[in-house]
Structure 1
């Protein structure tokens, strides 16, 4: 096995795979974080739900399908990006309504791909990611269907909290689904530090309780008018602020195309943040962004079907055993 630098941990069964950054001591103790993901008391209540008409689920089966025309097993190429990072190929530069962001929305528009990859019956540690778009979820049925982990949308920008977050976060916890929260990044709205602080205090907190994963920075869409250098700075600011609040290295969710176009395949986060890559394909493994040596989580489909969830749901796979997933959750070697 290749020699690893001190303080780095590996995903079981993946030589040299970075599971997380340097071992950190949790800032909040387990007793200081409640099942809703709030540090202490006094977290702001969720704002009123936004309309989900434009983001309603599309029906379909979980049987593997071929990728959309023009996409490849390694992901679609990036074109049309500018020096200022204004856009990623195929994705509209129109402003996104606050609260409308969800995982994979730009990947779908960029590639036109809705392919289903390996199903839960193929083995591996399986998961889902959800938001208010999935409506009311029966978490007991989700767990019974073999789902072991979930990331749940918590926040967007510095003012929006997903209206279904509390119900989903507590429901997953009560049914022993290892869960975490994610923040949909809006680099056009405010700085990375401000958004990380809002996330950490409105759902993205962490505790070592065998059921809480570190938070996720969902970074996708356009390049929000930022240069590659400016985007790297924004991501770095978010990372440092989140770690200062929680003691954890934030997980980065992105795609090869976005990371290449908007950060220039930056390698500055590879030793710090586990990678969650979006690549909807029936291939045996995903194509990962330049700058990362290995993936930790793979979002392989947007058309999964799971008991307890109405309509389609994103499906995810962890790169390792359940024991390694628990190590990621508990911040242990």
Structure 2
């Protein structure tokens, strides 16, 4: 799995290389993908689904716009662990924009883990994430990116290190430094560092160079 990520093992402000990117949903009705690309952005993560009933109404237009602008792109799924199994939600995500193909411009799908702990114990939450992750892997050959913040990961999984060797970490921390990653991950793969990207959505950075980003997309 580590070969999917990058050889650059930088931490926070000490990262040896970085590639700008961003993430969006229907809350960003208008996104200037071409200007984002011109400014240096090379990837975008786009909301596709929630639970097993919700499809983001802007997903297709955003995805097409990102593709036309030359951005590496992928979808994300907002988890609702209290409503259905991880497998059911992974399958819904896969059927509605969250798939992966080795075309070199598609990121593995991302599982968005935030909010409360949905009434699950830490062990039950780890099992739920594993159910989602293993289902996604069985259908695509890739493990999903996992988006979380240190507080949520500690509270809801007990700081589990169960995914360190499978899923790349997308770290949400709005600060000038990424700090220490949660869950035993030695480094983040993507860091979301603010919610005010100039061209729409949240600001992200990939922890590596463009070759590493392409490797993540290619498998």
TM-score normalised to the size of structure 2?
0.93
Output the CA distance in 2 between the equivalents of 1:237 and 1:222.
Answer: 19
Correspondence for 2:51? 157
TM-superposition CA deviations, 1:115-166 (whole Å, max 9, x none): xx98xxxx72000000000112232222122211000000000011100000
- Does the 8 Å CA contact 2:43/2:71 hold for their aligned counterparts? yes
Bigger Cα displacement from structure 2, 177-186 vs 132-141 = 132-141
Correspondence for 2:196? 303
CA 1:264–1:211: 2 relative to 1, 3 Å: same
Equivalent residue of 1:303, what SS? coil
TM-superposition CA deviations, 1:154-182 (whole Å, max 9, x none): 00000111000000011111111000000
TM-score normalised to the size of structure 1?
0.62
Larger helix percent: 2
Correspondence for 2:79? 185
Pick the aligned partner of 1:322 from 183, 198, 210: 210
Output the CA distance in 1 between the equivalents of 2:197 and 2:163.
Answer: 30
Output the CA distance in 2 between the equivalents of 1:267 and 1:124.
Answer: 25
Equivalent residue of 1:211, what SS? coil
Output the CA distance in 2 between the equivalents of 1:11 and 1:295.
Answer: 10
Correspondence for 1:254? 148
Q: CA RMSD in A?
A: 1.8
Instruction: Name the count of aligned residue pairs.
Output: 215
Pick the aligned partner of 1:225 from 86, 100, 119: 119
Equivalent residue of 1:132, what SS? coil
Output the CA distance in 2 between the equivalents of 1:138 and 1:305.
Answer: 9
Output the CA distance in 2 between the equivalents of 1:228 and 1:291.
Answer: 16
- For residues 102-251 of structure 1, the aligned pairs below 5 Å read 124-251=18-145
Larger strand percent: 2
- Does the 8 Å CA contact 2:164/2:183 hold for their aligned counterparts? no
- Does the 8 Å CA contact 1:251/1:274 hold for their aligned counterparts? yes
- Does the 8 Å CA contact 1:192/1:234 hold for their aligned counterparts? yes
1:287 aligns to 2:175 (yes or no): no
Gaps of 5+ in 1: 1-6, 18-116
Pick the aligned partner of 1:12 from 7, 20, 40: 7
Correspondence for 1:276? 170
Larger radius of gyration: 1
